[in-house]
Amino acid sequence: MSNKMVDVLLHVDEESSHDDREAFRDRLMEIDGVMAADFRDDHAHLVMVEYDPALVKSASFLSAAKDHGWHAELVGL
């Protein structure tokens, strides 16, 4: 793992329950190179992902959302 960690904000289009967001967060955490993923209930459409770009590309997060049945976009920081 490199020393360079970056953050990306993922905007999820669908409405979701707290439990569904937690399940998606857990799925993101299973991706090699992801160090943190965090939803906040007061911003339920947004998830912040901290990851190592040497190990995983941000497009993987969009694929994970699609696999979860969601539509999502990356928001640059």
The DSSP annotation for 30-69 comes to TSTTEEEEEEETTEEEEEEEEE-TTT--THHHHHHHHHTT
**In 1-77, alpha helices (H):** 18-29, 59-67
Query: Could you tell me what percent of the chain has a pLDDT over 70?
Result: 95
The average confidence (pLDDT) of the chain is 93
Domain ranges of the chain: 6-75
How confident is the model at residue 1, as a pLDDT?
55
Q: Does domain 6-75 have CATH number 2.30.180.10?
A: no
Which tens digit of pLDDT belongs to each residue from 8-31?
999 999 999 999 999 999 999 999
Give the integer Cα–Cα distance in Å for 10 and 7: 10
What global pTM score does this model have? 0.88
Residue 63 has pLDDT above 70, yes or no: yes
How confident is the model at residue 29, as a pLDDT?
97
Residue 40 has pLDDT above 90, yes or no: no
HSE, side-chain direction, 13 A CA sphere, residue 62: 8
